[in-house]
Amino acid sequence: MATVAQAAALKARHDSERSVGVAFAIMLAFLVAGPFLLYPVFLMKALCFALFACAFNLLIGYVGLVSFGHALYFGWASYLTAYAAKSWGMQPEIAILIGTATAAALGIVAGIVAIRRQGIYFAMITLALAQMMYLVALRLPLTGGEDGIQAVPRGRLFGLFDLNHEMTMYIFVLVVVLAAFLLIYRIINSPFGEVLKAIRENEPRTISLGYQTDRYKVVAFVLSATLAGLAGSVKALVFQLASLTDVHWTMSGEVLLMTLVGGLGTIFGPVVGAFLIVAMENYLASFGQWVLIIQGAIFVVCVLVFRRGIVGELAHRLHVRL
């Protein structure tokens, strides 16, 4: 039954798969060459935020759920990883697992509480829960209050690789982030992901086809929180620090900004957005408080000029999926 229209569309689909492959190759080449051209710490920071933004995008871009509280999972995972590594002397991989599991557990609770709310109410509940846990972080001795947890040992990965060696640490971060990126790509392109897209497109219709959409949304929420937690855990080891900044609401805002600037609901958008924002923070640091204003201005320009975000706009112009 292959008509002309079908054949053309089939070709478009293959072109899209190719465009994703090409973009991935470019990204990989950049990240492999990166530490020879740029500071590894900068790259590692950007990679952690790229993962954070990709996890956030899984929810906002593919389910249409806007969470204003994703700092909760990022920050608390970061605390638990730092605490496990420092106070319990855990190996890095175990410490990361503990932090990520914490985020998953928090995601399950928050997901179940928030998921029945629609639109702005959903966003408000996620924000309220995150603010509550921010106050807990401020008071609880475990987090070290205003000081945070400092001088977190990076340790030896699997007891073998010394992560204090900058290049070893970079390779470790790169492998973790790429694996998580590929997992997110798979989630989006799985039978589960198809249902998520249907929910984003038309939730009542999805329900009328017999899907318990709340359950799909909770699972997506937990996956997103868990992956955000993984990003926070890795970040704690990169900077050897977990602090209130990571659980503060501005962190939730920042990840939203990265995703929007890069391109909501695109595969590579959050990565591009994260690198851009982190680069801006680094190179504009000398402007002090002005960074926020410059960021705000860029955000406004992006929203006005590139409504689809940088990658979204590019994909639109080239008629491909990115």
Partner 1 sequence: MLGDTVLETEDLTKDFAGFVAVRSVNLRVARGSIHAMIGPNGAGKTTCFNLLSKFLSPTRGRIVFDGRDITALRPADVAQLGLVRSFQISAVFPHLTVIENVRIALQRRRGGSFDFWRSKRVLHALDDAAMRLITDVGLADYANALAVELPYGRKRALELATTLALDPLMLLLDEPMAGMGHEDIGRISALIRSVASTRTVLMVEHNLSVVADLCDRITVLTRGQVLAEGDYKTVSADPAVREAYLGTGQG
Question: What residues make contact with partner 1 under the rule CB under 8 A?
Answer: 1, 3, 5-6, 8-10, 12-13, 186-187, 189-195, 197-198, 201-202, 204-213, 215-216, 219, 223
- Comparing CB distances to partner 1, the nearer of 1 and 304 is 1
- Comparing CB distances to partner 1, the nearer of 46 and 187 is 187
Q: How far is the CB of 182 from partner 1 (least distance, A)?
A: 11
Q: How far is the CB of 207 from partner 1 (least distance, A)?
A: 5
Q: How far is the CB of 160 from partner 1 (least distance, A)?
A: 28
- Comparing CB distances to partner 1, the nearer of 209 and 292 is 209
- Comparing CB distances to partner 1, the nearer of 65 and 169 is 65
Q: How far is the CB of 76 from partner 1 (least distance, A)?
A: 23
- Comparing CB distances to partner 1, the nearer of 215 and 307 is 215
Instruction: Choose among 50, 48, 55: nearest CA to 70.
Output: 55
Q: How far is the CB of 268 from partner 1 (least distance, A)?
A: 19
- Comparing CB distances to partner 1, the nearer of 81 and 100 is 100
Q: How far is the CB of 55 from partner 1 (least distance, A)?
A: 13
